[in-house]
Amino acid sequence: MIEILPLGSSSAGNAYRITDGHTTLLLEAGLPYKELQRALSFQVTQLAGCLVTHDHGDHSKAIKDLMRAGVRIYTGQGTADALGLSSHRLHTVQAHKSFRIGTWTILPFDVEHDAAEPLGFLLANRDGDKLLFLTDSYYCRYRFGGLTHLMVECNYALDIVQERVEAGQLHPAQMHRLLRSHFGLDHVKDFLRANDVSKVQEIWLLHLSDGNSDEERFRREVQEVTGAVVRVAKR
C-alpha cells in the first residue's frame, strides 16, 4: 500500500512524501528547508532519499539543505550541473537505467520541459504497487502498464487560459510558455486514455495553476475517464 502526502504543490514550491510502509521517500525539494522540516514533523532523517525531477527552484530549493541534513539526493546530471551540486550524498541517475532505494525500484524517464535534464519517475515496490510521477512536462512519449497510483501534473485548462488572454488577464507570451512547459487537463486525459489504468487505485492531480484551473472540474473529468479515486494536491 502506498501513502501519498502532498507537502507543497504549486509554483511556490513542490514536495511530496511517499511511503510503502517500509521505505519513505521525498519527491521534489521545492519548499524552504524549514517548511519541509515542519511538514515532515521534524523527521527528515527518516527519509531514505529524495528524487528531484529538474533544476527549477520550485522543485529544487532545499536540495543543499537536505544533503547537509544527511538525505541522499537522486537527480539527473544536467540538474546537478545546473544547480552546482557536489556532495557524497548526491547520486546522479540516467533515464531508462533503474536503481533501488530500500524497497523501491525506480526507473527515471526523460520528459519535455524547459529545464536542463527533466525527468519523470516510475516507482515499483515489492508489494506489486507501481507509482508514476510525472510533472512539469507538456508531453510524455512513453506508455506504462500495471500502474496502481498516478501523481500527474494538471496545471491548466486550455479554454480557461484562452479566456484569460482574451480578457487581458494573461499575456499571450505567458500562454505560449505555459503550453510548451506544462501538462494541462487535455494532456492528462489523453495520457490516461493511452495507458493501461485498469489497476489504478488513486490519481493525484498536481501543480494546479491558481488562475488557469478549476479543481472540481478537473477532478470530475479525470474521474469520468478512469473511474479511479481522484484527489487534488492543494498545498
Dump pLDDT digits (tens) for 204-227. Answer: 999 999 889 999 999 999 999 999
Q: Is 100 exposed, middle or buried (0-12, 13-18, 19+ CB in 10 A)?
A: exposed
* Residue 174 clears pLDDT 90, i.e. is over it: no
The mean pLDDT value for 165-191 works out to 88
* Residue 181 clears pLDDT 80, i.e. is over it: no
d(CA 200, CA 214): 23
Q: What are the pLDDT digits (tens) for 14-66? A: 999 999 999 999 999 999 999 999 999 999 999 999 999 999 989 999 999 99
Q: What are the pLDDT digits (tens) for 75-110? A: 999 999 999 999 999 999 999 999 999 999 999 999
- For strands 49-51 and 229-232, give the pairing: unpaired
pLDDT above 70: percentage of residues in the chain: 100
d(CA 159, CA 220): 16
The whole-number pLDDT of residue 61 equals 96
* Residue 233 clears pLDDT 70, i.e. is over it: yes
Q: What are 122's three cell numbers?
A: 516510475
Look at residues 122, 152, 146, 151 and name the one whose alpha carbon lies nearest to residue 199.
146
d(CA 104, CA 109): 16
Residue 106 has phi, psi (to 5 degrees) of -120, 130
* Residue 2 clears pLDDT 80, i.e. is over it: yes
The whole-number pLDDT of residue 235 equals 62
* Residue 179 clears pLDDT 90, i.e. is over it: no
d(CA 52, CA 29): 7
d(CA 33, CA 60): 11
Strand partners, 107: 122
Domains and CATH numbers, the chain: 3-232 (3.60.15.10)
d(CA 233, CA 165): 26
Residue 212, SS3? coil
Predicted structure pTM score? 0.94
d(CA 132, CA 29): 18
Q: How confident is the model at residue 113 (pLDDT cuts 50, 70, 90)?
A: confident
Q: What are the pLDDT digits (tens) for 137-156? A: 888 889 999 999 999 999 99
The whole-number pLDDT of residue 116 equals 78
